[in-house]
Amino acid sequence: MSIDLSTLAEAPRVLIEVPLKPVQGTRFQPTGFPDLGAATFKSVQTNGENQAIEVDSLIVESAQSMANRLENVCWNEGAEDLEEPLQGLPYVRSTLPDGTITNSILESHRLNSPYIANSKEFEKIKEEIGFVKDQPFNRRKLAAALLKYDPSSLVHGVFLEKVGGVVRLPRMLSSFIEAHDIKVATSGGVKFDRVQPVSTEKGEEEKVKYGKAKEGFGNVPFHRDEYTGQITAYFNLDLTLLRGYGFNEAANRLLILYSLYKIQKFLQEGLRLRTACDLTTVGDVQVTQPEAFELPSLEKLKEALPESIAAVADQFVTPAVTDLQYQKK
């Protein structure tokens, strides 16, 4: 049965919120940064009496990380190819001098990866992008080239600074995960050494037989901060941006279905973000805009995508996988 997207005809975007919780217990580990730790902040929420209150919040997963996670759920590691419903979608594959292979689906910067852009064959893609220095840049030409060679770069955005400083497109599908009303769950542990349980301080190296703590020897205590709170995943599909690219109806439909597939696949299979951050959905997915739109199930999207991909095949490069040979600069 065909998926009805008519409720999106005039909608500027699709906004989705999904409540999450740890699969076990109540604690979770957010994303962290070496010089910052967890990304905590204050936010304003509405309580049960419809009053605005300030609560402690944090970023569980950033927009940059979520873009990569939404790409990863489309890749079958065992087959080293796209998942079966996505077969026929173009992407770019690069072979390194030692035979190692990478591609635009797995590379964090997609087509702007140095392992892709630094190749002789990339010049063909660059030519079709149509950037000319000191001339106005036509973003539609960039969009058409991305649809032809790597539609994922259209969905998740790209900045081809190796081509030109203005050769960029924002994310059509963006996402992040936040937690609100958070509390810190402080704990710790010790790296236990059963051979040499003691460590050493500066100037006491002669007291140990094998080595110092900084070399991995001895018992090393550590502290750890986890969090509790109300977790929500947010997704934003920008339909106005998509319409601005001037694609035909078939291409627009494919990119919407592809984006919705990524969301549903992530919610079913991609929610183990870290060892101590394994999440699951709570209740139904909430489409907050447009309210009349119902998110298709993953099974329906799997059924609809092959036909939609075939309908746009004449706008793709042949073969769908573009092979490049990386050249070190």
- Residue 115: the pLDDT is 93
Nearest C-alpha neighbor of 198 from the set 213, 187, 215: 213
Q: What are 180-206's pLDDT values in tens digits?
A: 999 999 887 888 888 888 766 655 656
- Residues 298-323: b if buried by 16+ CB within 10 A, e if exposed: bebbbebbeebbeebeebbbeebebe
Q: How long a stretch of residues is the chain?
A: 329
DSSP letters spanning 266-292: HHHH--EEETTEEEEE-S--EEEESTT
Q: What are 262-296's pLDDT values in tens digits?
A: 999 999 999 999 999 999 999 889 999 999 999 99
Nearest C-alpha neighbor of 145 from the set 161, 158, 162: 158
- Residue 195: the pLDDT is 87
- Residue 52: the pLDDT is 83
**DSSP 3-state of 298:** helix
pLDDT along the chain (329 residues), means of 10: 90 98 96 83 82 90 95 94 97 94 93 91 92 90 96 94 91 97 88 79 66 79 87 98 97 98 97 95 94 96 98 97 88
- Residue 10: the pLDDT is 94
Q: What number of H helices and E strands is found in the chain?
A: 8, 17
Name the residue ranges covered by the structural domains of the chain: 10-325
